[in-house]
C-alpha cells in the first residue's frame, strides 16, 4: 500500500472553511491510491482561542510561570483540539478516522521539555488503523517520555512529527501544507518578485531553514535526508504543484540541466548582536580563547559567524542574549564593543561550491546600495553577510535582483 503523510499547519485548520479544504486534500490523496496518515498543528495563531501561544498566555495570567513539565502538558492541548475538530469534519464527509496524541502514535522522546528529541517511533497503532482502512489523525508537535510524561518538540515541531512518522512507516512522500504555494526564492513580504521554486535539494532547504527562512523545521529536513524521503511543500488554499524537496525533480532531471543559476534562494535572520572582544590585557588571565568561549558556553549562549584573530575575537549572538553576555564580559574585565540590531543575510546554492566570483557579486550587490558589510562567513553552499537591520529589505531585494532570482527570469 502506498502510504502518504499529510501535515496541515495551524492556518490550514483555523476555521471550518479551511478544514473543509483539508478534507479535500485528503480526498485527493485517496483518489490517487494513497493511504493518508494525517498530522495536525494547533488551530490558528496567537490570539485565536485554541492557539498554543493563547494557551500559554492564559496560564501566565495567573502570575506564575508553569514549570516545564506542566507547560508541555498545556501546550499539547492545542493539537488535540485541532485533531478532534478535523476528525469530526472527516466523519461528516463519510470517512472513518481515529485521533491519536503523539504518545498514542508511538513517538517516544527524551525529557528535554519544550524541545524534546525523538528517540524512537513505535507505529503499531498507526499501522493497525491503515490495515482497518481508518485514517489516523495525529497530534503534531508532541511525544511522550519512556516514563509517561508528555513532551513537546519545539516550535515548528509538527513538521518533525510528520517526517519522523513518514520515516517510521516508510511513507512514499510527506506533504507539508501551509498557507503559501511552496518554497520561495526570498521572503515574499520583502521581495515582491519572489517566486515559488519547483524543486529544491535537501541541503538547500536545510540551509534556508537554518538561516532564517520560515519554510520547514530543520530537523524535519534532516530526517527526510537520512531516509531519502521526498517532502512536498504545498498550499491548502490552492491546487498549485508546490515545491518538491529531494535530490531530483519529478521527472528525475537534475536541476542543473535546466537552471543555470548558481544561487537558489536568499534568507535572512534578524535581531543579531555583533560582539568584538579585544585581547589587550584588560581582562588579564581571562584573555585566553578557551576561557572566553567556555564562559560563554557555560551560560548556554550560542554564537555564530565566529572570527578569531590573535588580538580580536568576533561573533554574533541572538539579541535576546545580548544583555546576558554583556554582563559576563564586564564581570571579567574584557574590553569589547557591541553592535546591536543586526541582520544576517545569506545566499544559498549547491552550485556555489568551487565557483569563483560569487562573493564578489554579493559584495557588489550590497555596495551598489551603499550597504555596509560588518562581517562575513561562508560554507561550500552559503555566503552570509552581517548588516545593520535597517538595511535588511534593501539588501535582500538587491541580492535577489543581482542573482537573477525573480519571476521574470522564467
Share above pLDDT 90 across residues of the chain, in percent, rounded to a whole number = 75
- Whether the pLDDT of residue 19 is over 90: the answer is yes
Answer whether 314's CB lies under 8 Å from 307's CB: yes
pLDDT at 58: 87
Q: What is the mean pLDDT of residues 53-65?
A: 86
Confidence label for 6 from pLDDT (cuts 50, 70 and 90): very high
Cα–Cα distance measured from residue 71 to residue 69, given in angstroms and rounded to the nearest whole number = 5
In the chain, the domains with their CATH numbers are 2-256 (3.40.1160.10), 265-409 (3.30.2130.10)
Cα–Cα distance measured from residue 113 to residue 152, given in angstroms and rounded to the nearest whole number = 6
Q: Spell out the residues 6+ positions from residue 327 whose beta carbon is closer than 8 angstroms to its own.
A: none
Q: Alpha carbon of 390 to those of 75, 373, 374, 375, 402: distances in Å?
A: 35, 13, 13, 16, 20
Share above pLDDT 70 across residues of the chain, in percent, rounded to a whole number = 96
Cα–Cα distance measured from residue 147 to residue 149, given in angstroms and rounded to the nearest whole number = 6
> In terms of Cα–Cα distance, which of 266, 262, 242 is closest to 345?
266
- Whether the pLDDT of residue 250 is over 50: the answer is no
- Whether the pLDDT of residue 171 is over 60: the answer is yes
> In terms of Cα–Cα distance, which of 221, 40, 51, 6 is closest to 140?
40
pLDDT at 374: 97
Task: Label each residue of 332-397 as H, E or C.
Answer: CCCEEEEEEEEEEEEEECHHHCCCCCHHHHHHHHHHCCCCCCCEEEECCCEEEEEEEHHHHHHHHH
Q: Across the beta sheet with 150-152, what order do the strands follow?
A: 118-121, 107-109, 142-145, 150-152
pLDDT digits 0-9 by tens, 101-133 = 999 999 999 999 999 999 999 999 999 999 999
Q: Which residues pair with 272 in a beta bridge?
A: 318, 342
Q: What is the mean pLDDT of residues 268-296?
A: 95
End-to-end Cα, the chain, rounded Å: 38
Helix, strand, or coil here: 42?
coil
- Whether the pLDDT of residue 252 is over 60: the answer is no
Q: What is the mean pLDDT of residues 64-70?
A: 90
pLDDT digits 0-9 by tens, 346-397 = 999 988 888 889 999 999 999 999 999 999 999 989 999 999 999 999 999 9
Confidence label for 301 from pLDDT (cuts 50, 70 and 90): very high
Q: Which ranges in 199-246 belong to alpha helices (H)?
A: 202-210, 218-227
Mean pLDDT of the chain: 91
pLDDT at 199: 87
pLDDT at 255: 41
Confidence label for 409 from pLDDT (cuts 50, 70 and 90): low
Confidence label for 48 from pLDDT (cuts 50, 70 and 90): confident
Amino acid at each position: 500500500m502506498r502510504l502518504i503523510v499529510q501535515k496541515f499547519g495551524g492556518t490550514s485548520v483555523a476555521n471550518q472553511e479551511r478544514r473543509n479544504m483539508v478534507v479535500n486534500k485528503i480526498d485527493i490523496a485517496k483518489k490517487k491510491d494513497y493511504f493518508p496518515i494525517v498530522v495536525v498543528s494547533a488551530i490558528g495563531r496567537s490570539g485565536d482561542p485554541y492557539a498554543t501561544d493563547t494557551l500559554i498566555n492564559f496560564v501566565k495570567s495567573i502570575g506564575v510561570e508553569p514549570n516545564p513539565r506542566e507547560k508541555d502538558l498545556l501546550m499539547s492541548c492545542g493539537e488535540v483540539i485541532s485533531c478532534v475538530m478535523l476528525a469530526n469534519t472527516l466523519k461528516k464527509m463519510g470517512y472513518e478516522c481515529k485521533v491519536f496524541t503523539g504518545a498514542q502514535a508511538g513517538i517516544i522522546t527524551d525529557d528535554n521539555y519544550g524541545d524534546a528529541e525523538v528517540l524512537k517511533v513505535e507505529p503499531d497503532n498507526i499501522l493497525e488503523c491503515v490495515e482497518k482502512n481508518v485514517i489516523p489523525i495525529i497530534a503534531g508537535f508532541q511525544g511522550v517520555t519512556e516514563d509517561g510524561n508528555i513532551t513537546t518538540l519545539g516550535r515548528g515541531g509538527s513538521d518533525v512529527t510528520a517526517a519522523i512518522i513518514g520515516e517510521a512507516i516508510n511513507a512514499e512522500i510527506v506533504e507539508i501544507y501551509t498557507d503559501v504555494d511552496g518554497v520561495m526564492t526570498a521572503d515574499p513580504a520583502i521581495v515582491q518578485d519572489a517566486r515559488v521554486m519547483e524543486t529544491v535539494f535537501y541541503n538547500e532547504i536545510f540551509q534556508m531553514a537554518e538561516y532564517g527562512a520560515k519554510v520547514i523545521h530543520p530537523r524535519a529536513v534532516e530526517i527526510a535526508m537520512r531516509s531519502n524521503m521526498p517532502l512536498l511543500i504545498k498550499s491548502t488554499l490552492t491546487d498549485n504543484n508546490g515545491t518538491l524537496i529531494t535530490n531530483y525533480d519529478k521527472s528525475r532531471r537534475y536541476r542543473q540541466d535546466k537552471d543555470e543559476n548558481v544561487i537558489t534562494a536568499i534568507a535572512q535572520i534578524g535581531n543579531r548582536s555583533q560582539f568584538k572582544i579585544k585581547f589587550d590585557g584588560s581582562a588579564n588571565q581571562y584573555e585566553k580563547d578557551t576561557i572566553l568561549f567556555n564562559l560563554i558556553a557555560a551560560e548556554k549562549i550560542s554564537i555564530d559567524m565566529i572570527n578569531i584573530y590573535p588580538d580580536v575575537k568576533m561573533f554574533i549572538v541572538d539579541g535576546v542574549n545580548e544583555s546576558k553576555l554583556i554582563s559576563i564580559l564586564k564581570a571579567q574585565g574584557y574590553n569589547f564593543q557591541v553592535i546591536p540590531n543586526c541582520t544576517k543575510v545569506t545566499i544559498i546554492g549547491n552550485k556555489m561550491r568551487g565557483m569563483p566570483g560569487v562573493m564578489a557579486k554579493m559584495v557588489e550587490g550590497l555596495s551598489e546600495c551603499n550597504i555596509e558589510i560588518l562581517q562575513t562567513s561562508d560554507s561550500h553552499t552559503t555566503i552570509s553577510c552581517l548588516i545593520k537591520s535597517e538595511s535588511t529589505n534593501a539588501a535582500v531585494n538587491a541580492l535577489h535582483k543581482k542573482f537573477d532570482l525573480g519571476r521574470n527570469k522564467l
